[in-house]
Every structure is written in C-alpha cells, then in structure tokens.
Amino acid sequence: MKSRTTPGASIEKTENGYGLKIPAGDSSSYRFAQIDDYFGLARRKFPHHSLTLSLRARVSSLSLPGTWGFGLWNDPFGTSLGFGGNRFRLPTLPNAVWFFGASKENYLSFRGGYDTAADGRAAQSAYRDQPPTQPPVHANGFLAQTFRSPKFHPLLIPAGAALPFSPKTTRRLLSKVIDEDSSALGVDVTQWHSYRLEWSQRRVAWYVDDVQVFESPVSPHPPLGLVIWIDNQFAAFTPKGKISFGVLEGNEEWLEIEELGVGDK
C-alpha cells in the first residue's frame, strides 16, 4: 500500500490502522489523502481479480464536502502523458465496487429513474400515484455501489461525437454501455462500524456490522486496484445533460480506518 497526499493533508499510522486527514480550505484547491496498491502500475497490471476487503471506519462529518470511501476500481479518470517516469495512460470507462460517500454536489450515476438522495421529496411526490419503472437512482450520499464497463463498445463513437452538442444524448448512450447497481445505506458514518466487501467475478456483496446490506450480480471487470481515500472533489453528469466538476470549500475533515484486512478470493 502506498500513501499519497496533497500539501497540508496527511496520513498517519495509528495503533490499529490509519488516519487520513485533509485541511480546511476554500474552493480554489484540490485536497486529498489516499492509500492504494496500484500507483505506478498499468491498468492491465492492477493486482486484484477478486477480493474480500474488511475494515472498521468512521469519518468526521455526516455532510463531508467531496467524496470518500474504500473499495476497488480501475482508476478510470487517471491520466498521464508519460512524463516524469509515469506510464502513458488515457481515461477509460469505469469498473469499480466500493463503499462510497459523495456530497450532494455529486451525481455519480448514468442510469435513468429518479435520485432519492438529491431529489427525494420531489421524486416521491412525482411518483406517488405512478411508481417508477426502474429502481431508484442513488447518485450521492453513502452508497454501496458497483460499475461494470467494457474496454470498448461501438456506442462509444457516437457518444463521444455527441458530447459537444448534446451531453444528454451522450449520457443516454453511456447508460447503455455502463452497467451499474447501487443502494443507499442508512449508516451513521461518524460512528465506528465494521464494513466488508466481497467481490468475485459473479457477484458482489456488502456487509455492515456483519449484516449483509446489499448484493448485486453487477461485478466489475478485473483487474482492479484497492483504494481508500478522502477528498474535497465533486463530479456530476445529470440526466438533464448538465456536466459539472470541481472542488469544494470545507473544514478540516478526516477518515479513520482500523483492522484492515485484504484477502483474494
């Protein structure tokens, strides 16, 4: 596991784990602290093809600005032009499975339907007499979430071509390429809880305090890397086609973990 931070952020080894902390600041700078086991590797050499991840965790706030969490992904937005000894890397479609915390500014879903986290009361009112035909979309909050994407799909060509003219069309096409599943978790994340994630190539299961809280057949394509992080970043691609991203003002925030256990299935 390797540690990475921006200036002013820190990762401290504790008696039973780690403390990841980002400083207070305005919306002019990115702040993050991260532990991962894939830094410097090409995506095809990421270490995991299946995994059971267990740990205990808590964070400093119920409304932490940005994102935080722990799980596995293919670092789809990580880019490098090959300078400074880094490998050349382009963005790719997401393959990820994790416990994920995202503030209200985020909208991290390509699926249709309605968003119970961001627009819950309006959505409940709109669908009171006619329930939605799809499951609720959980695009922010504290989630059990998974994404599965191919390396390439023919629809990516028209999706990319449509982006400058119709982001809504691009999003609709991506929803046909990217498979996803999620569940909102009613957990007080400021208190210590035990979390376990079981990922195999046929299913994924999430547990909180040894109780299964979600299970999905949407299993991301390997290989993936393990990541534990906290930051002040947001990203949103809404059903209306609005794209927004940036960093948020915030107080000093932290994520503490202990009893970290990692075992390939």
Say if residue 231's pLDDT is above 80: yes
SS3 7: coil
Residue range 76-130, pLDDT digits in tens: 976 433 333 445 456 789 999 999 999 999 999 988 644 434 333 333 333 334 3
The answer to whether residues 225 and 95 touch, using CB atoms and an 8 Å cutoff, is no
pLDDT in tens, 55-90: 999 999 998 999 999 999 999 976 433 333 445 456
pLDDT in the model for residue 90: 63
> Residue 224 class from Cβ within 10 Å (0-12 exposed, 13-18 middle, 19+ buried)?
buried
Tokens 């990762």 locate to 11
Second CATH level (architecture) for the domain 2-263: Sandwich (2.60)
Rounded Cα distance between 48 and 38, Å, is 10
Q: What number of residues does the chain have?
A: 265
